[in-house]
Amino acid sequence: MSVNESLDAARDKLLQRAAPDRTEFEDLVIVPLFAFAVALILGAVTMLATGVDLATIGRSYVALLVGSVGSVNALSETLVAAIPLVLAGLGLALGFRAGLFNIGAEGQILMGGLAAVIFGFTFSALPFVILMPLSLLAGALTGAFYAGIAGWLRAATGAHEVISTIMLNLISYRLLDYMLSLPWVQREGRADPVSRSVPDAAELPRLLEWLDPNLRLHAGVFVMLLAVAFVYWLLFRTKLGFEFRASGASPDAARYAGMHASLIIVIAMATAGALAGLAGANQVLGVLGRATPGFSAGIGFDAIAVALLGRSHPIGVLFAGLLFGALQAGGRQMQVDAGVGIDLIGIIQALVIVFIAAPLLVRAIFPWGFRNRQKGTHQ
Amino acid sequence: MDVELKAITKRFGAVVANKDVTLQVRAGEVLGLLGENGAGKSTLMNVLCGLYRPDEGQIVINGTPVQFTNPGDAIAAGIGMVHQHFMLVPVFTVAENVVLGVEPVGRLNHLDLKTASAKVREISARYGLTVDPDALIETLPVGVQQRVEIIKVLFRSADVLILDEPTAVLTPQEVEDFFGIVRSLRDAGKAIIFITHKLNEILEIADRISVLRAGRIVGESDPATATKADLAEVMVGRPVHFEVDRSGAAPGDAMLVIKDLTVLRDDNTIAVDNVSLTVRGGEVLGIAGVQGNGQSALIQAITGLMPAARGTIRFLGQDITHASVRARHKLGLAHIPEDRQRMGLIPDFTVAENMVLDSYYDPRYARGPQVQWDAVNQWAATAAAAFDVRTTSVFAKAGHLSGGNQQKLIVARELSRDTKAVIAAQPTRGLDVGSIEYIHSRLMAARAEGDAVLIMSSELDEILALSDRIVVMFKGRIVAEFDANVEKPEKSQIGLAMAGVAA
Amino acid sequence: MNGAETLQRPNAAIDLGARRRTRIVGAILILLAAFVVVVLGDAPGDATFRLSRPRDVWVLPDLIVPAQPFIYIAAALTAFLGARQFLRGGGRWTTLSLGLGLGLGVLAFLVWATAGNAFSLTGMLQATMVRAVPIALGGLAAVMCERVAVVNIAVEGMLLAGAFTGALMGSVVGGWGGLLSAVVIGGLFGFILAALVVTYRMDQIIAGVVINLFVLGLTSYVSSQVFAEMRHLNNAPVFRAIDIPLLSDIPVIGPMLFQQNIFVYGALIMVAVSTYYLFHTRNGLRARAVGEHPRAADTLGIDVYRTRYLHVTIGGMIAGFGGAWFTLGSVGRFDENMTGGRGFIGLAAMVFGRWHPVGALMAALVFGFTDSLQQKLALLQTPIPSEFLAMAPYVATIVVVAGLIGRARPPAADGKPYVKE
């Protein structure tokens, strides 16, 4: 059967994967490296412009390095900072894959964290093995619900999620302030908006206390790793993930293929919100121990950068989150050692994304870093 | 005005779109530029009208070499182009579109739309191009929009007119009228380049013919002596059979029955108006009509992408009027969609992912919540090999395939399962002759297997070649029906129906 | 089939789609009426609205409304409008009824909150205008960008940059210098946005988000690093209100429109000029063509890239001017993230205003009204927690973008990059 044989041969040939070419390597490794380098240089320029002398700039970058990876404590702090960033970043990445630009992680973190605290102190009689996981779950579900609002608005009315999630963020600040002033939430004997504390049985246990009681690394790191694996599986191994990615890449094609667009939008938003809510729960159960106004501290916005830097890929988000966690931890050291404001880290982060999201710009600045490509071969 | 293209070469990355092309056109003549889809005709003309810059070669006007850095330069030099996809702003009026870029203004930069309207009226009167200058473009039928495009070019006092596939959206009668306009423009001393892949049109209108294949000029000929067969062979590079083998028609039971179907657009206007039709197994029903007369909406209603406002759709005896897209798919309804880039596949996904775009949930490829990618890849490779989809591997991005291979991918996906009916919208638009022949043969194979086949196409020749029965849609209704197996209908009969003239 | 049937059929079909909306609006109105009666029904005393201030040239008497009757009448009218939707079908009345009903609801709420009390209506309208300014200017900036098909999420960051620059340069070189610098910096960020999305083809939303993050980081950094120590760099003069002779003496309208500072006048003038520019000039026509069908514009020799650069830069300058309002037009001092989402509300105003400068202004006035309303209500000591009042503008924004109040078509090419070859 020569026809069949030749068909089989053709088939086998089609199943061979091409080796990753240089372009992929450039996009995945060289562009981020350059982006980071340029951002650091421009950060230095900013410091110079605000009257910081060269020696201090040098000191601050040394502090940045030491404070992020220079000691066990630094590594612990880096991981602690990375956990919520990775969790929320995974949620945003999942949204991006589904074509949803969710800016609302900040609000979802606040609502999720608040719910975890309230659940924790309300059911403080429960034992650790039940209370801690359920508190996390309460955070995730609340985050999912809060994000689901924006998803539902998008699916039912076409309201663009960028604006509705930003508004939900602003609403969440006020809602949190209000909740913290309620008598059954506010800590007894306090006039300022502070919630009751999370009971010990709801706390994520510290992992390295046996080494040094000051090490803050907590069990949330396992939650983070599980979440990375889960999102990877969800996106690339499941039917639902295929639907997310198809709707994100081409809503028309997804509809043609019989996928339920509105439902997918709501599910994708809710899943993203659950991850952000989990990030919030991690913060309050693992680090803060209570809720205060604006306890999210901009994590939801930094997570946007993490998701973009990680190219909306779970593994990429993990590394990007670790990098940004290191920047946060190092930034605090920088403030202590060199007196340079931690807001500088925000500038560096924004610059990193500019260059990541505009590879053409990086290529224009560093033409020698890339193999010369014919115009028009990239799509 | 005489224009000469000398040894023009244009590359896009590694792809050479035009290689060493030399052409000339003189005042008062119509040059026919013939070539199949993807031969590089449009690229060449975009070079001439200043949209693209050539990598090599030069443009010579009246003996003087010129260089265009943008379309404004070409317009100033007297070259005007009517693009295949109209370059009109839908929410602007006719007058606004015509004057755009060369607007008459009064004090304070104030737009003088009165003068503009007056000039539009003057040009329409002089060349017999009737149009209301104050009408919004989006309210006008395509035939009128084309007139606006020509007025636009004349308003800029162009002496060279490039007409890129101008008849694609016209009815046969409108084509006759349009040829009248072209002749009168030629007699007024304009030089005209008429681009097409339709052989009978070029033989009718051109004074000279140049044939482009794979980016090169492969022949010139005189329409007085050339025959269709000769031209086709030069254009494709091998002998072409125009006739599709439709022997052995054995229509079976009615499989797809549509009754009193009304479909609304998003803005609540009527797209399909009380349509009833039946497609039997083993027959091809062709839907003819000028673009925008409800054919797309009809197909989307049958496949579940648009809701039916009234009426019923029955498939294999079941009422599927309100069934989901997926339910219809599972019943054996295959859909080759109109817009393959936007709807038919996802360019960023791999060939394998696109192969299962609408069947990834099937037990063959999925277990529980998971997709079994190994099974998917195996099957995708088999289907790609069987349907002649030329790709380096099933892991390549579908967006990197050529148009013909993308369409073959869609056809492979839709036809390689157990289908009962095939709905094909514009199945060969923009494809090369080889791919067209292949896809036609696959559609006829589906018919031979007893599937009900529904084909919508704006190419009347395609409808005539494939269909056992033909219905014509106009303003959302079926205005005429022909049985090709009883008596092959004349093109002009169908054309009249397409224009809304009752037969 | 006979002729009459052919004529009727289309109408019947169209009604299928419209009827749902009619019913939804009817239900909303009846619910609103019920809400007014149940929640606001108990309002003893009169509500006193002051229309004039003692110093005014022409003094109007106070408007005294008996609260309870007014609220019941408002509820009855709203319920009537709602019932009418069900009984007669809405048709063209649907949108109008919804607007009227919501207006009545707001009035009833206002009367309820003021019952047994008094407050200055004129003052509130004046505050409405003032609070609408940054939103209107943000919306106008967004209109300029989206008309050439560039989505500008960065309006927020541009406002913040304008506010910061206004404070810094205003402290150093004075008010006018500060204002000019704010406009220049706004334009600079507009130019950067244009460069990122036009030349480097970055995703427009990502580019906007990044500019917002960058400006927030930079201004926060400088204000904590520099302003904390050098207070004199964050102490700018404030533009005072200028009374327009004669016009400012008109009761109610005078204080609202003609006793304001240059930011209010500037916003009104810019809205007028940009309306003329976009819809009545050559360049405006070309700009809109670029936003609707860039390829067509290109084939006619209009430089798409240049047009986009130009208008996005102008949009940035408008936003920079609007940002200066926060410091030079208001408190004279910069605080971290002091724009508080006004830029995003401006974007919503643009959507609500159907991509038209005048529409954006009107929408901004609605937002300004909710904003000043919550300020006034906080003073009236209503039982509603102040946090909920503070949410009102944000909830209103969501309602607007959700399209409850009608939707319009954005420019066709909005958000899409244009690739020449």
ipTM of the complex: 0.86
Same domain? For C140 and C169 the reply is yes
Same domain? For C279 and C138 the reply is yes
User: Are the C-beta atoms of residues B211 and B219 closer than 8 Å to each other?
Assistant: yes
Same domain? For B48 and B164 the reply is yes
* C417 falls within a domain: no
Which of A38, A166, A173, A296 to probe the C interface (max C CBs under 10 A)? Answer: A166
C-alpha–C-alpha distance, residues B293 and B475, integer Å? 5
* CATH at B281: 3.40.50.300
**Token pair of A316 as six digits:** 């990429």
DSSP state of A30: I
Handedness of CA C52, C54, C59, C62 (dihedral sign): positive
DSSP state of B488: P
**Residue with token string 């399962």:** B417
Flag whether pLDDT at C2 surpasses 50: no
**C-beta atoms of C14 and B268 within 8 A:** yes
Give the residue on A whose Cα is nearest the Cα of C348: A163
Per DSSP, what are the bridge partners of residue B257? B278, B314
* B339 falls within a domain: no
Same domain? For B169 and B277 the reply is no
Residues 6+ apart with CB under 8 A from B231: B34, B199, B202, B203, B209, B211, B221
Between B3 and B15, the higher pLDDT residue: B3
Which chain C residues are within 8 Å of A345, Cβ to Cβ? 217
Q: What pLDDT was estimated at residue C421?
A: 62
* Helical segments of chain A, H only: 2-14, 22-25, 31-49, 54-69, 72-97, 105-122, 128-157, 161-180, 220-237, 239-249, 251-256, 261-282, 299-309, 314-338, 343-357, 359-365
Same domain? For C142 and C224 the reply is yes
Q: What pLDDT was estimated at residue C18?
A: 61
Containing domain of residue B499, as a range?
252-332+420-503
* C209 falls within a domain: yes
Q: Confidence band (pLDDT; 50, 70, 90) for C66?
A: confident
Closest CA to B281 of B307, B313, B310, B251: B251
User: Are the C-beta atoms of residues C389 and C378 closer than 8 Å to each other?
Assistant: yes
Same domain? For C14 and C134 the reply is no
Flag whether pLDDT at A314 surpasses 60: yes
The C-alpha of A337 sits at a distance from chain B's nearest C-alpha, in angstroms, of 48
* B408 falls within a domain: yes
Q: What pLDDT was estimated at residue C48?
A: 85
The CB density around residue B211, as the number of other CB atoms within 10 Å, is 25
Instruction: Provide mean pLDDT across the span B33-44.
Output: 89
Which chain C residues are within 8 Å of B103, Cβ to Cβ? 282, 285-286
Q: What pLDDT was estimated at residue A171?
A: 94
Domain count of the fold of chain B: 3
Domain residue limits, chain A: 85-304
Give B248-271 pLDDT, tens digit per residue: 777 889 999 999 999 998 777 889
Specify the range with the lowest mean pLDDT, choosing from B156-160, C88-92, C289-293.
C88-92
User: Are the C-beta atoms of residues B491 and B321 closer than 8 Å to each other?
Assistant: no
Same domain? For B140 and B10 the reply is yes
Q: Confidence band (pLDDT; 50, 70, 90) for A359?
A: confident
Flag whether pLDDT at A1 surpasses 50: no
Q: What pLDDT was estimated at residue C41?
A: 80
Same domain? For B205 and B88 the reply is yes
The CB density around residue B41, as the number of other CB atoms within 10 Å, is 25
Q: What pLDDT was estimated at residue A309?
A: 83
DSSP A66-120: HHHHSSHHHHHHHHHHHHHHHHHHHHHHHHHHTT----THHHHHHHHHHHHHHHH
Between C43 and C145, the higher pLDDT residue: C145
* B167 falls within a domain: yes
**Token pair of C149 as six digits:** 């098909």
**C-beta atoms of C153 and A162 within 8 A:** yes
* C408 falls within a domain: no
Dihedral (Cα; B394, B400, B405, B406), 10-degree rounding: 90
Q: Confidence band (pLDDT; 50, 70, 90) for C393?
A: confident
Flag whether pLDDT at A74 surpasses 60: yes
Q: Tell me what percent of the residues of chain C surpass a pLDDT of 70.
A: 93
Same domain? For B353 and B502 the reply is no
Q: Where are the beta strands (DSSP E) in B62-207?
A: 64-66, 79-82, 160-164, 191-196
Flag whether pLDDT at A96 surpasses 90: yes
Flag whether pLDDT at C25 surpasses 90: no
**Residue with token string 């002749």:** B183
Domain count of the fold of chain C: 2
Give B418-477 pLDDT, tens digit per residue: 899 999 999 998 888 889 999 999 999 999 999 999 999 988 889 999 999 999 999 999
Last residue of a domain, one of C74, C94, C115: C115
Containing domain of residue C29, as a range?
3-115
Q: What pLDDT was estimated at residue C5?
A: 34
**C-beta atoms of B100 and C289 within 8 A:** yes
Question: Given a contact as 3+ CB pairs under 8 Å, which chains touch A?
Answer: B, C
Which chain A residues are within 8 Å of C199, Cβ to Cβ? 360
Closest CA to C351 of A172, A157, A156, A92: A157
Same domain? For B442 and B503 the reply is yes
Which chain C residues are within 8 Å of B113, Cβ to Cβ? none
Q: What pLDDT was estimated at residue A379?
A: 34
Flag whether pLDDT at A374 surpasses 70: no
Same domain? For C166 and C235 the reply is yes
Q: What pLDDT was estimated at residue A92?
A: 95
Q: Which helix (H) or strand (E) holds B7?
A: strand B3-12
**Token pair of B259 as six digits:** 């009754």
* B244 falls within a domain: no
Give C222-260 pLDDT, tens digit per residue: 988 888 888 889 988 999 888 888 888 888 888 888 889
The CB density around residue A342, as the number of other CB atoms within 10 Å, is 19
C-alpha–C-alpha distance, residues B487 and B490, integer Å? 9
**Residue with token string 């009408």:** B135
**Token pair of A281 as six digits:** 């729960």
Give the residue on B whose Cα is nearest the Cα of C273: B108
Residue type, C232: H
Instruction: Provide mean pLDDT across the span A107-134.
Output: 95
Q: Tell me what percent of the residues of chain B surpass a pLDDT of 90.
A: 65
Flag whether pLDDT at A87 surpasses 50: yes
Closest CA to C139 of C310, C358, C297: C358
For residue A250, give the nearest of B342, B361, B382 by CB distance. B342
Same domain? For B450 and B301 the reply is yes
Q: Share the mean pLDDT of chain A.
A: 89
Same domain? For B101 and B10 the reply is yes
Give B47-84 pLDDT, tens digit per residue: 999 989 999 999 999 999 999 998 889 999 999 999 88
Q: Tell me what percent of the residues of chain A surpass a pLDDT of 70.
A: 95
Flag whether pLDDT at B272 surpasses 90: yes
Same domain? For B405 and B438 the reply is no
Same domain? For B425 and B386 the reply is no
* C107 falls within a domain: yes
Q: What pLDDT was estimated at residue A375?
A: 40
Same domain? For B209 and B96 the reply is yes
Which chain C residues are within 8 Å of B50, Cβ to Cβ? 301
Same domain? For B137 and B268 the reply is no
Q: What pLDDT was estimated at residue B1?
A: 82
Q: Share the mean pLDDT of chain C.
A: 86
Q: What pLDDT was estimated at residue C106?
A: 85
Question: Given a contact as 3+ CB pairs under 8 Å, which chains touch B?
Answer: A, C
Between B230 and A366, the higher pLDDT residue: B230
Q: What pLDDT was estimated at residue C36?
A: 87
Handedness of CA B352, B353, B356, B358 (dihedral sign): negative
Instruction: Provide mean pLDDT across the span C156-165.
Output: 96
Same domain? For C209 and C93 the reply is no
* C17 falls within a domain: yes
Specify the range with the lowest mean pLDDT, choosing from A88-92, A216-220, B103-107, C268-272.
B103-107
Q: Confidence band (pLDDT; 50, 70, 90) for C295?
A: very high
* C406 falls within a domain: no
Which chain C residues are within 8 Å of B164, Cβ to Cβ? none
* C169 falls within a domain: yes
**C-beta atoms of B371 and A10 within 8 A:** no
Flag whether pLDDT at C4 surpasses 50: no
* C410 falls within a domain: no
* CATH at C249: 1.10.3470
Q: What pLDDT was estimated at residue C264?
A: 95
* B100 falls within a domain: yes
Dihedral (Cα; C373, C378, C380, C385), 10-degree rounding: 110
Give B359-401 pLDDT, tens digit per residue: 999 999 999 999 999 999 999 999 999 999 999 899 999 998 9
Last residue of a domain, one of B417, B451, B470: B417
Q: What pLDDT was estimated at residue C404?
A: 57
Q: Is C386 helix (H, G, I), strand (E, B) or coil?
A: helix
The C-alpha of B429 sits at a distance from chain C's nearest C-alpha, in angstroms, of 22
Q: What pLDDT was estimated at residue B476?
A: 92
**Residue with token string 């199945």:** B427
Q: What pLDDT was estimated at residue A376?
A: 38
**Residue with token string 């048709």:** C91
* B245 falls within a domain: no
DSSP A212-263: -TT---BTHHHHHHHHHHHHHHHHHHBHHHHHHHHHHH-HHHHHHTT--HHH
Specify the range with the lowest mean pLDDT, choosing from A220-229, B213-222, C125-134, C388-397.
C388-397
Give the residue on A whose Cα is nearest the Cα of B384: A11
Q: Which helix (H) or strand (E) holds B336?
A: strand B333-336
* B184 falls within a domain: yes
Q: What pLDDT was estimated at residue C90?
A: 60
Residues of B364-400 as b/e, b for ≥16 C-beta within 10 angstroms? ebbeeeebbbeebbbbbbbbbbebbbebebbbbbbee
Residues 6+ apart with CB under 8 A from C276: C284
